[in-house]
Amino acid sequence: MSAREMPFRILVLCTGNSARSQIAEALFATRGAGRVQAASAGSRPAARVNPYAVEVLAAHGIPWEGRTPQHVDTFAGQRFDLVVTVCDNARDACPYFPGAAAQVHWGLPDPADEATPEAARRAFAATYDALAARVDAVLALPLASLDADALRERAQAVHAVGAAS
């Protein structure tokens, strides 16, 4: 398989790899199936994926049970076309991922910070919607033809547009 035929590889990073990064990985993996290969990891992985993340994904037809948060070191030495940090702590802990051709930051509030189940469900739904819009916008890009600088610029712009809406 030539490099051109290889799937576009995306790694999503967050601190706990239990909520935002899991949702983004699921979206990239399902919506980009056959075109992209997605993974996620955390700088301090949680013991389990947040049940509200699994719930919101299931509500959108994406089965995600049985997943385990992974440490970013799991992917050391691997090459990714795009690395996305989705929380400020992960951006600070992983300001540069050595295997990234392009790296961007989509800072989003942690939906797991909500105190009640109702508020958490609303926050996870909002996080899902925000990430789905960004993932769809990235997947609409001509990924195979963008160089690293253009990819970084356009993938970061996706977040700026999403944050403004």
Contact between residue 46 and residue 16 where contact means Cβ atoms under 8 Å apart: yes
Contact between residue 117 and residue 137 where contact means Cβ atoms under 8 Å apart: no
User: Which residue of the set 12, 13, 14, 24 is catalytic?
Assistant: 14
87 is a catalytic site residue: yes
d(CA 1, CA 5) in angstroms, rounded, equals: 6
d(CA 117, CA 98) in angstroms, rounded, equals: 38
User: Which residue of the set 23, 72, 86, 87 is catalytic?
Assistant: 87
- Residue 32 φ then ψ, to 5°: -110, 15
d(CA 112, CA 91) in angstroms, rounded, equals: 18
User: Which residue of the set 94, 100, 112, 135 is catalytic?
Assistant: 94
6 is a catalytic site residue: no
Contact between residue 119 and residue 111 where contact means Cβ atoms under 8 Å apart: no
Write out the catalytic residue numbers: 14, 87, 94
